Structure 1
Amino acid sequence: MSTPTTTISADADLVTLVNVFTVAPERQIELVDALDGATSEVFLAVPGFVSANLHVSLDGHRVVNYAQWTSEQRYKEALQRPDVREHLAEAAAIAEAYDPTLVRVRSIHHPHGQQA
């Protein structure tokens, strides 16, 4: 069985949410656990959701959520759902700050491959 992966492509017709959370180091894992649980329990069933990847900073002060969506419209519709809003409130209560930004992949570089 293969492990699912996130595909990053400049050709994909997706939008990406890059959300950088600032958090007290002693609460970093609590925030990751809350985001991880919400993704498993809520987002996997939300129309338009493609994938999420959670990253933790080595200094303990940040958590980065890199999440792909089929469209900006689907992402905005998700934000109106009560179950999603409940999850956002839980994460916001743990984090000191957060900065969600929707982006598109513009270019990709690899040391042994072509620029995409």
Structure 2
Amino acid sequence: MPTTTITVDTDGEQVTLVNIFTVEPERQAELVDALDRATAEVFVDDPGFVSANLHASLDSTRVINYAQWASKEAYERALARPEVREHIGEAAALAQAYDPTLVRVRAIHHA
């Protein structure tokens, strides 16, 4: 699996979408695949997109999408795109529930 360094910054306009999906364990891999495909096909070319990381819970009941955007406005512009709305609908259909929250990084710690 490729490793990339991602810059997380407490200054500036960058925002992070933390979206926690609740999913039936047998559908977790399907949801991860759908989010991964949509990120590669829909988001990576968006000018406001910075990065996305997908996390699968060890109990197979949750998928967490941690996606960085250049600004709140860039994220909102992306949401207005029809192909993004289609992607959201596909992910929502696979999940039991989801909780998207837009946040700003306030503290960073490293080992």
- TM > 0.5 fold call: yes
Letter in 2 for 1:100: P
Q: Percent identity?
A: 68
C-alpha separation between the residues in 2 aligned to 1:14 and 1:104? 7
Report what 2:29 is aligned to: 29
Report what 1:66 is aligned to: 66
Letter in 2 for 1:6: I
Query: What's the Cα RMSD here?
Result: 1.4
Alignment of 1:1-116 (within 5 A): 3-111=3-111
1:41-96 Cα shifts (integer Å, max 9, x gaps): 11011120110000010000100000000010111111110110110000000000
Unaligned stretches of 5+ residues in structure 2 = none
| TM-score, length of structure 1 as denominator length | 0.89
Instruction: Specify the SS of the correspondent of 2:44.
Output: helix
C-alpha separation between the residues in 2 aligned to 1:99 and 1:50? 21
Report what 1:114 is aligned to: none
List, as ranges, runs of 4+ consecutive aligned residues in structure 1 with deviation greater than 6 Å. none
1:8-41 Cα shifts (integer Å, max 9, x gaps): 2223531000000000000000000000000001
Letter in 1 for 2:105: V
Q: How far off its partner does 1:3 sit?
A: 4.5
C-alpha separation between the residues in 1 aligned to 2:57 and 2:12? 27
Letter in 2 for 1:19: N
Aligned residues: 110
Alpha carbons of structure 1 residues 3 and 55: separation in structure 2 relative to 1, 3 Å: closer
Tell me, yes or no, if the aligned pair for 2:13 and 2:72 is still in contact at 8 Å. no
Unaligned stretches of 5+ residues in structure 1 = 112-116
Letter in 1 for 2:97: A
Bigger radius of gyration among the two: 1
| TM-score, length of structure 2 as denominator length | 0.93
Letter in 1 for 2:70: T
